Chains A and B, each alone.
Chain A
Amino acid sequence: DSGVTQTPKHLITATGQRVTLRCSPRSGDLSVYWYQQSLDQGLQFLIHYYNGEERAKGNILERFSAQQFPDLHSELNLSSLELGDSALYFCASSPHKTDTQYFGPGTRLTVL
């Protein structure tokens, strides 16, 4: 157990809908990262927050947004969902800005 929790574990929804994925980092970790893993695109970095502020943005679509709250948990919002958004979404946390990352179990999103 990495100490990073993600909810929900599975999510099935329809095209056009909006969902929110939640991540709680390990106690004391200030950084939260979001990744998408799909069969055709592999592992893709989406976004990195450090202590409530956005630090880096990767291949995150405009339909997606994220934030990190004062208690350091983070949410990834996916809207206007398309079939191609079906993937595993991982959250990771680390103590500081650039060090070892610890991954959550992931949320499997299926868009029908």
Chain B
Amino acid sequence: GIQVEQSPPDLILQEGANSTLRCNFSDSVNNLQWFHQNPWGQLINLFYIPSGTKQNGRLSATTVATERYSLLYISSSQTTDSGVYFCAVVQYNFNKFYFGSGTKLNVKP
């Protein structure tokens, strides 16, 4: 299967700071998604982004499929951004999802 590595594993920010989360994957993918799991356990899809760049408010994501990585940018972080951010990919020509181990973000007021 495909290897998915996320960095950093843990991140502590002061409210208002910006951050970049990274997802590296070991093979070609035809599906990549970023999810946020809030402290109450709810999983929310942030981006479906197999390639290119997307923005949604203070969040944006870029996937460079040819170089096998994706970046999630969080600007002007808020305490409600705290939680775990997961990257998940589907290996090209396969249909299985593989998750990274996540980046745990703690935004302090």
- Measured CB to CB, the residues of A under 8 A from B are 2, 33, 35, 42-45, 48, 55-58, 88, 90, 92, 97-103, 105-106
Contact A98 B43 (CB under 8 A): no
Q: Are A42 and B43 in contact (CB under 8 A)?
A: no
B residues lining the A interface (CB < 8 Å): 30-31, 33, 35, 41-45, 48, 86, 88, 90, 94-99, 101-102
CA distance A48 to B94 in the complex (A): 12
Residues of A contacting B: mostly? strand
Q: Are B48 and A33 in contact (CB under 8 A)?
A: no
Q: Cα distance A100–B94 when bound, in Å?
A: 17
A-B contact pairs, 15 of them (CB 8 A): A35-B97, A43-B88, A45-B96, A56-B96, A57-B96, A58-B97, A92-B43, A98-B30, A98-B31, A98-B90, A99-B48, A100-B33, A101-B45, A102-B45, A103-B35
In contact, B41 and A55 (Cβ under 8 angstroms): no
Please, which residue of chain B has its CB at the minimum distance from the CB of A57? B96
Q: Do A101 and B33 touch across chains, with their CB atoms under 8 A apart? A: yes
Question: In the complex the two chains form, is A103's CB within 8 Å of B90's CB?
Answer: no
Q: Determine how close the nearest CB of chain A comes to the CB of B28; give it in whole angstroms.
A: 14
Q: Let me know if B48 and A48 touch, CB within 8 A.
A: no
Looking at the complex, which one of B31, B86, B95 makes contact with A43 (CB distance below 8 Å)? Answer: B86
Q: How far, in angstroms, from A102 to B97 measured CA to CA in the complex? A: 14
- How close is B36's CB to chain A, nearest CB, in angstroms? 10
Chain A: minimal CB distance from B91 (Å) = 11
